[in-house]
Amino acid sequence: MSADVIRVHHDPGTIDAAAWDALLAAQPRPTPFMRHAYLGALHASGSAVPRTGWTPRFLTLQRDGELLGAVPAYLKAHSWGEYVFDWAWADAYRRHRLAYYPKLVAAVPFTPVPGSRLLARDDAARVTLLRALVDLARQEDASSAHLLFPDDTESPAIDAAGWMRRSGVQFHWTRDEANPAADFDAFLAKLRHDKRKKIMQERRRVAAAGVEFAALEGDAIAAADWDFFHQCYRLTYAAHGSTPYLTRGFFAAMAAAMPEHWVMFVARRAGRPIAASLIAVDAARGEAYGRYWGCVEQVDCLHFEACYYQPLAWCIAQGYRRFEGGAQGEHKMSRGLMPVATRSAHWLAHPQFARAVDEFLAAERRGIAEYVDELREHTPFRAMPGTD
């Protein structure tokens, strides 16, 4: 019988792209962000590289040259760009004169989208990958290993490997399959009066300012559009005093290798572009993911129009079933995005810290469950037709 072989890859480009994508396609919840082209572009463009604190340590599981499992992993020198916040853990380590960094993170950089992370033929292979991550963390003298935004179907393997589970919350719009909205007006009609009124007021302010939108899909997004979008994207980070994660080269790679997965909404006033937002889409699964936005000119409520109302209207018109609004943001609920639990999993090398974190996570999970239940009690949607 042939032995399984675990390999560590310092560059995702050394992994066979076709084999990776075939394995991804067989998973319960594939997303475009786990495609080899996406992960490879993050590395090749200088976006997720050692210089920016993301040192690739991708793992593959092979038998007789066949790819049985794979997971994107990185040694991290910080916790930026992860969206599962462990700054308090790092501070506790520091106060006890212990090094929290480097840590090993299995994730898609800068991308808080739940989906299959442990690409594998079965749960046994997933457990093998998790144990290989622990072995790698020990070899690299990392404090811990973390699996961010896995799919629920990976929970049995996570439990079998003895990792600790953590819960979080995001806000997603999901189509009402029993009574789907035909258009954005029909979607608004499902909301309570106060929520509907607020959205209509916000949209009127943008329209009254003379702003019009165009939705550009796939190959219809020209190089000049990508240039303008990246300008807006950089300005958003500059406004918060930070540096953008993604380079212009990354978006060029997306335009070349994965154009079918992008829709850009460009706002114009008097014929001049003033803002742009970008969503990723998976037409086969009917899912869209809110990603980035920015503007060169301030207009009241433009952010809501560009990031929520335009994408939602597009998703409804295209018959999509889900729009994920990204990390955090209770304000998204008033715009029809409902709370959804997310997951992460963690292993800590230090026994005492592992026990303390395990106790904390148990209490946090209970708190998150109560929080989601409370949020759902304040639904923005009408209880029944004809009521507000």
The predicted-structure confidence for 185-200, as pLDDT tens digits, reads as follows 999 999 999 999 999 9
Model confidence pLDDT, tens digit, residues 284-335: 999 999 989 999 999 999 999 999 999 999 999 999 999 998 887 888 999 9
* Tally of domains in the chain: 2
The pLDDT assigned to 387 comes to 44
Contact 230, 251 (CB under 8 A): yes
DSSP readout, 298-319?
A: --TTHHHIIIIIHHHHHHHHTT
Q: Is the peptide bond before 102 cis (omega within 30 degrees of 0)?
A: yes
The pLDDT assigned to 328 comes to 75
Same domain for 154 and 206? no
**Structural domain range at position 273:** 176-320
Same domain for 80 and 185? no
Provide the whole-model pTM: 0.95
Average pLDDT, the chain: 95
The pLDDT assigned to 199 comes to 97
The pLDDT assigned to 292 comes to 94
Amino acid (1-letter code) at residue 83: Y
The pLDDT assigned to 326 comes to 83
Q: How far apart are CA 140 and CA 143, in angstroms?
A: 9
Same domain for 207 and 316? yes
Q: How far apart are CA 355 and CA 18, in angstroms?
A: 41
The pLDDT assigned to 330 comes to 85
Same domain for 161 and 193? no
Same domain for 232 and 142? no
Same domain for 29 and 78? yes
Angle at the Cα of 343 (from 342 to 348), degrees rounded to 5?
150
Q: What is the CATH number of the domain that holds 122?
A: 3.40.630.30
Same domain for 241 and 287? yes
Looking at the domain assignment, is residue 380 inside a domain? no
Beta bridge partners of 339: 171
Looking at the domain assignment, is residue 383 inside a domain? no
Same domain for 248 and 125? no
Same domain for 45 and 156? yes
Tokens linked to 1? 């019988």
Same domain for 194 and 125? no
The pLDDT assigned to 329 comes to 80
Percent of the chain with pLDDT over 90: 93
The rounded radius of gyration (Å) of the Cα atoms in the chain is 22
C-alpha to C-alpha distances, 20 to 5, 53, 198, nearest whole angstrom: 16, 24, 46
Collapse the DSSP code of 190 into the 3-class scheme (helix H, G, I; strand E, B; otherwise coil) and give the result: coil
Looking at the domain assignment, is residue 333 inside a domain? no
Same domain for 128 and 181? no
DSSP readout, 315-376?
A: HHHTT-SEEEEEE--GGGGGGTPEEEEEEEEEEESSHHHHHHHHHHHHHHHHHHHHHHHHHH
**DSSP summary character for residue 296:** S
